[in-house]
Structure 1
Amino acid sequence: MSKQQEKTRLVQAVHSAVNHYDKSKRKTVSQACEDLGLARSNYNRWRYSVQKNLSETGAAIVPPPKSRAPKKNGKALPADVRQRIWDMAQSGLYANPSQIGKALREEGASVSDNTVRNNLERAGLYGYRTVIGSDGKPTKKKVLLL
């Protein structure tokens, strides 16, 4: 049984105890919550969620809690800057992320070379490639992958 189903079951059990058909067996909300080992504040919160969900969707369940985490990373690069980085890398005019970062800063974008490098790596445009060194031996080198 999921947490939402368990919460809904507890709300229904308290409701049933409070609204028992036999008046002599009815309990107060506090007594019913105490019998079930449920804090009254939780019952009230869950009951409100059930009522709200019932009026919105027609389902009498406690919906999962909404995340309080931020919806967007405040430090994330805007999509247009990210696209500009990719376009500059694919143009063939720049040899490394630091040249792209310098060009972007001249255009007025506030980005570091590491941010450019990380975005290029995530996009698969920057990584290791085997190249032939000046001594004729193959070596791995980080380059723009075009």
Structure 2
Amino acid sequence: MSTPSIRPDAGEIYRKYLSAVLLHSHASARACELGATDLYALNILQLTGAMTPGVLAARTGLTTGPTTRLIDRLEEAGYVRRVPDPVDRRKVTVEPIGEPAKLDRVMAPARQKIGKILGSYTPEQLDVLFDYFTRAAEAYQEAAEQLRDQ
């Protein structure tokens, strides 16, 4: 099987896409009166469920001190709570209990635009796109873990 040729500007287009996603994420966090890392951490918790502060630190790329302050901010804002471990009282997990009230409103315009774009693809094209999203997310996660472990 031959490797498909990739257009010469693919790298630049992809970097522009990633930059736009990051810019929107930062703007969304600001509009919800959160820091970008706070919104990112809340998203991780909502996607994967409760985790220890240490796991959250690893997933966000923060050290323990900043992670504690991040959890404090999210807890104070009513988005997470610390839950004592039933077996070991010294341990806690952090679990999501809410999301920023403004988030749906803030995200609606982008979601509508992306929805229109996705609506222009065939089901087969959407399968390819979502296969890519799934596999690329795993690849980026693995690469981030490798960088962290260096």
TM-score (norm 2): 0.29
TM-score (norm 1): 0.30
| Structure with the largest fraction of helix | 2
